[in-house]
Homo-oligomer: A and B are copies of this chain.
Amino acid sequence: MAIVLQEHANSAVDIVKVIKMVLIHDLVEIDAGDTFLYDVVAGADKAQKEKMAADRIYALLPEEQGAEFIGLWEEFERQETAEARYAAALDRLEPLMQNLHTEGYTWKKHGIKSDQVFRKNKPIISKGSKTLWEYAEQLIHHSVDNGYLKE
């Protein structure tokens, strides 16, 4: 997904850095437990749990490699570089596509409404890729029109 959509990043990106970031970030979430985007309570200690997981996992690698990966994980979390922003846009877009293809499975399960989806996704996705945000907007409207997501 990162590779195929690369041309849509707002700024030119080093794609190897992006691929490393999305993988590193997901490994940490697998270890720390992924927090549901719209879950405010579980979101509270997310950062601390993920930091502990990152430190533990990347200490398993040779020192130099571990340090590089911790650095990339922190760069992703800070959201300051073009790579971090594009990687985060993909990380948000992917669950929207999953919800589209499952007719809103997790949205329905948790009673999510479209304004929550806009609020949580627009800032992140549009900062990484304006064209991917345009696509995401269409996807959300289509989901509301088809009853996958509440208005």
Contact = CB atoms under 8 A, between A and B. Distances in A.
B3 A19 contact: yes
Interface string A1-17: 00110000000000110
Copies in the assembly, this chain: 2
Interface of A is mostly: helix
Interface residues of A, number: 9
Interface in A10-30: 15-16, 19-20, 23
A20 B4 CA distance: 10
A37 interface: no
10 contacts: A3-B16, A3-B19, A3-B20, A3-B23, A4-B61, A4-B65, A15-B16, A16-B16, A16-B19, A19-B19
